Structure 1
Amino acid sequence: MRRCSLVNMDLISFLIGVPFLIYASYTDIKEGIIPNKLNGALALAAIAILAAQTLVNGGHAGLMGLAAAAIGFAAAFGLYVIGGMGGGDVKMIPSLAVLLGHRLYPWSGIDLIINSIICYGPFALVYALALALKRDPKGTASILAEKTAKSLACISVAATVGGYFREIGGGYAAFGASLAALLAVSLALKGRGPRIAVPVATVGTVASFLAGPGVGLTAVGTSIVLALVAAAVEGARKEVTVDELRPGDVPAEVVVEMDGEIVKVGRFKGSLLIASGRAKPVVVPTGEGLTEEDIKTLKELGIDTIRVGTTTPFAPAIAVSYVVTFVVGGSLPSWFSSEFPRLLGG
């Protein structure tokens, strides 16, 4: 009876969160914000669920729910500090951690964040590419064509060489030969335009299919994915002067102090340098973007230009991962590690 009540309550609390996330995704895509009123209502729903769990299943259930909310908030706030999540997203996580249900406590918030990061990748790619095509259709199409030609040239040649060496010398020989071929073609095409890349890509693609249909399809598929990622990243970013910056702009670079020098580095690299203690943050905005104080600091440091990116809505990724987390009963990495061996074993 107790188990039945837990399962039913988990399903009810999960369903309560769905309409909130649909609306949050809509406002995040359309306006770039998650309204405080929505987060307030979501928090009230989570509090009501905690109260119900405490009444039905005892004080332990309520305490575990509070622990899930606290752990989820701590992890989300950490991402917010390094610029990986917006304030509205952070406010949603504790409530959603509670609404995911008792069976996932106290790690429901962590599972939700891990799955959100995984789900965010494909969505961010599509969103950034669409935005880049809207901003500069011809320029983005040109970038995409060039990136496709170069990646296909590199990967098809590497895959072909690896395929033939596998037949001759086995896995290690194939890996070494593929790596050498990839490096050689990459260096040969560096700084060169599509006039060289296209013929190499054509020959490499034909050769990869001759080596085997699987080799050719893998080379083409991998090349297209890499080209889409590269075009989306490059097309969605642009370099602007510091005078053009406005509060809320999201920089693709951060400013850090390293070895006594002030330098600009990519956001991800900057986060790693700061986390490892090799650099000190100077201008490292949160997920909300640059503040007036940040822009003032950039001017005082004499930095003339900086690359800015686009703010990709995170709420849709959270919405998808909310469903995924509930269905698989935890994080995707944990699910894969437990289910794949069983499936492979029959």
Structure 2
Amino acid sequence: MELKTPLYDAHVKAGGKIVEFGGYLLPVQYETGVIKEHMAVRTQAGLFDVSHMGEVLCEGKDALANLNQILTNDFTNMVDGQARYSPMCNEHGGTVDDLIVYKKSDEHYFIVVNAANKDKDYQWMLRHQFGEVTFKDVSSEYAQLALQGPKAMEILKKMTSEENIPEKYYHAVFDAEVAGIPCIVSKTGYTGEDGVELYLASEKAEEMWDTLLEAGKEEGLVPCGLGARDTLRMEAAMPLYGHEMNDDITPLETGLKFAVKMAKNDFIGKSALEEKGTPSIKRIGLKVTGRGIIREHQDVYAGDRKIGHTTSGTHCPYLGYPIAMALVDADSVEIGDTVEADVRGRRVAAEVVALPFYKREK
């Protein structure tokens, strides 16, 4: 049975086209359409319902030791309010999921996991916990809204005071208030733009949603669906679980070396990653130069040699051309090389380009 986020009725009322995603009924787009929603986030601001994401509390004397064992990143030197991205590996080095950990205090961490993997992730944490620690799934208690775009902070400042807004990227204010509603304000996002993600009580979600949209009218704030969320993250070359990584693909193979701390004493999957050695595959960016759009699961060729397959692909509204990401043999191509993708029996040419495709000007 599909689940509904606390904002389901608001999406229907606003003309959202509802689809199933990660077990939830969510808007893929509104009447404005994906292109206008995408462009609003790149040039003004967009508001997303990401309440389908999962939240897990990790608490206790051994909370830090558990996180360092279960996840590939190192959480030892975090300050209160800091957030850190990390893959979570299985014993073979494959990726169980990727997630974000927030430190509230030495014995209190707040973990945000992907919607489709929420139950899998939670069970994985419970199976591997040790010592004095508790993991608690609190997903049903939280709604999550993402306010993203160059005008996002202007809108937020109308609704709250400076002390409720994190100064740095990947930091959060835990006991904040926006429009009088208690929430966690996190300077994070999945669009490649400036902005925040707000975590708040489920029953307050609709009030926050309406208040934000009203406050952002002058700045051109629009509600955005899953379609724009995907095209935006693709332009920013942000990996998506089930596409650029899965239970068989390691974080090192998909270019997440920055979040895998091999110098740590130990973590689940470390010995497997050591045994594998230098990754034999890598993630690359493709700018389509031929006619057509390259989607996921399409074979990639360098000349007559098949070198890998695409993991995500679409036409990107802001860039104005189609792009794709692919996993290919590590030694097969370099930036500037030309490859072809097999699109339903027809070869479509593309150039290997540096990632990310889009980077906002600071």
TM bin, normalised by shorter chain, reads: under 0.3
Report the structure number with the largest CA radius of gyration: 1
Scaled by the length of structure 1, the TM-score of the pair is: 0.23
Larger strand proportion, structure 1 or 2?
2
Bigger relative CO (Cα 8 Å, ≥ 6 apart):
1
